[in-house]
Amino acid sequence: MKEFKGKTALITGAAYGFGKEFVKQAAKRGMKIVAVDIMGEELAKLEAIAKENGAEDITLITADVGIYEETEKVVKTALEKYGTIDILMNNAGVAVPGNGYNLPLRDWEWIVQTNFMSHVYFMRQVIPIMLKQGTHCNIMNTCSVAGVINWIGMVPYYATKHAAVALSESINYELQAIGADIAMGVFCPGYVQTNLDHSEWYRPERFKDDSDPYYQSEEFKKGQAKDMQSRCGRRSRRIVSMCCHMRNTMDSLSCRQLRSFRERARI
């Protein structure tokens, strides 16, 4: 996409980290923005930031993107307010450190719903809207370098990011097959100091159970205390320079570029 002014961007995980930066970049391009996050108080700070950076307008929605009905509310609000969705940025994500075979199932379910199913939920609703609009549109899914390599310590995170990459590639092939004017990209950064290692701040009530012995275990406590960077592995840090050299933070890897990147990452 080359013309951004007046277009509508729907951005999830918008309150912190990359999501917050995506909001700033969309604002600088004069876009209308739908910013979504589960952290309502932090999300509220984005209105002033977006306006300062030149956004045409911004709508803030507090929602849990791991719940389909809440994603429906987001999409409905975006259409009622702006009439179109031109860019979808699936950016929300969480991580829980610990051995994959020990993590409680509620942690697996939380991570799968947030990191993967939210992509499914939004694309299932937004792609038909984009097709009906008949204009050039973009979808960018934040997949992380964890979507193209594996390491120890955050198995559900790596698994869901790989799934998100596969989903993006497969949907892209389907869109190509029907000649859709929708560009699909994946954003695969290496380790960056975001708020990912504070995912416990975002844990919904339905995934909390302080009585579970795991959350009192040394494994869980040590995992919370460790910096996530140590969990990305040396291999990840070696290939960060290969990962998504962005001209600006609105760029992402196309699925074709991803295939090349994946082969280089495995060397």
Residues annotated as catalytic are: 157
Name every residue whose Cβ is closer than 8 Å to that of residue 171 and which is 6 or more positions away in sequence.
123, 127, 184
CB 71 within 8 Å of CB 121: yes
Q: Which residues contact 82 (CB under 8 A, 6 or more apart)?
A: 8, 32, 34, 57, 59
| Cα separation, 122 vs 10, whole angstroms | 10
Q: In what order do the strands lie in the sheet with 253-254?
A: 57-62, 32-37, 8-12, 87-90, 137-142, 182-187, 253-254
The dihedrals phi and psi of 61, each to the nearest 5 degrees, come to -130, 120
